[in-house]
Amino acid sequence: MSGPVYSSPEACEAAYYAALQAADHEAMMSVWADTDDVVCMHPAPGARPQVGVLSVMEGWLAVFARALDVRVEPLCLWRETDVELAVHVGEERIVRAGELMPSGVLHYCNSYRRFSEGWRMIGHLATPQAKPSPPLTPSTSQGLH
């Protein structure tokens, strides 16, 4: 793996959402582990899991080709981290251009693994939700159970 070194799962997640917002394919792929066991599932109807870095790369090319004019505001509601693995669960609030309030919400689960080169994303799953949840206090628990 080459590229930026993410010192924590949170730094990797911040880079993921920055790349998503900028529709920057190169930055997006620097977040992902370069392995055949990564998985990504976009919330499009009929979407199938993309397994392996090449499939994930093709999926993001298709997403960025749609040129969606939205802002994604992530809110991590729960996280668990140990020395090698982290899982974050939360909401991605979708705000359309010119609007102030979210017009849609996705639930997400992001998974990260620590490699010798730092943390990288190994999994992303997003699924639609009918409306935003009431505000919760994000958890910062440590240690997978």
Taking only the tens place, the pLDDT of each residue in 108-145 is 999 999 999 999 999 999 998 765 555 555 554 444 44
pLDDT recorded at residue 86 = 98
Q: What pLDDT digit, counting tens, does each position of 61-120 carry?
A: 998 888 678 889 999 999 999 999 999 999 999 998 888 888 889 999 999 999 999 999
What are the structure tokens assigned to 115, written together?
A: 């490699």
Name the architecture of domain 9-129.
Answer: Roll (3.10)
pTM score, whole prediction: 0.84
Half-sphere exposure of 70 (CA within 13 A, CB side): 19
Task: Indicate the DSSP class of residue 137.
Answer: P
Mean pLDDT of the chain: 88
Run of H or E residues at 123: strand 118-129
Please report, for the chain, the start and end positions of each structural domain, with discontinuous segments joined by +.
9-129
Positive or negative torsion for Cα 117, 49, 16, 82: negative
